[in-house]
Amino acid sequence: MAYKPFDLSGKVALVTGGNGGIGLGMADAMAQSGAAVAIWGTNEEKNAKAEAQLKAHSVQVYTRKVNVANEQEVIDGIGETVKALGRIDSVFANAGVGFGSPSFVDMKTETYRKTLAVNLDGVFWTLRESCRHMVDRAKSGDTGGSLVGVASLAAIEGAARNQAYAATKGAVISMMKSCAVEFARYGIRANSILPGWIATDMTANAQENKAFAEKVIPRVPARRWGEPGDFGGVAVYLASDASSYHSGDTFVIDGGYAIF
């Protein structure tokens, strides 16, 4: 029998913030590998475009408008996703926002709260409700599941003028490690992904900044911006049975930037 650990046929993956950027890059790869995919996003037009892209891979796709900063929307979203696709085998808590500030001392409390609401509260509620579903399945004899939190290099490096964002991403790593320990008995693993400089809508200003292009990107050993598609491989791995004994880890996807 051929070794096919990366075949995701029969599995269901949920990707929050999955209608663009890194989220869509991961969702597309998992769809190509045979997974049914659920996409949550706040922009219904982008949700529809993502749905059409994923359905081209002949898999079942479910999209839903969900603001992860709203607890009830997340609770309802998990319930409706399970109802639509039958189960959730892996969840990628990817939805996030980034609000910079001229300096830390000038950062407004509103900016701080808005960042935490999506990047931390949203991840917390998404993971909590997903764990509840996976544990219930496990108690019925259907063990297994994969929890993935998308953090950032900002979690482990000094992100000047971006303390709120960095704090949320550091917290995501800690939350994933806690889940890895608590839910291992149910066959559920939990890991974090730390993107580096990736060309997405969130980094549009940096991409258009000449000084950034001349001073920062040349420091990336890969000598280029990362692309959403660069996250397809790690997503398929973490959603697949190949990672069934891999938990509590952090995957740095940055072209070597953090070590250079």
Catalytic residues, by residue number, are 152, 165, 169
Closest CA to 190 of 247, 119, 110, 125: 247
- The 3-state secondary structure of 59-105 reads CCEEEEECCCCCHHHHHHHHHHHHHHHCCCCEEEECCCCCCCCCCHH
Using alpha carbons, list the distances in angstroms from residue 50 to 23, 24, 193: 10, 7, 22
Residues 130, 118, 15, 179, CA torsion sign? negative
Pairing of strands 90-93, 61-65: unpaired
Cα separation, 203 vs 220, whole angstroms: 16
Contacting residues for 159 by C-beta, under 8 A, at least 6 apart: 165, 166
Q: What does the CA dihedral 25, 30, 34, 35 come to, rounded to 10 degrees? A: -120
Pairing of strands 90-93, 12-16: parallel
The answer to whether 125 and 66 are in contact (CB under 8 A) is: no
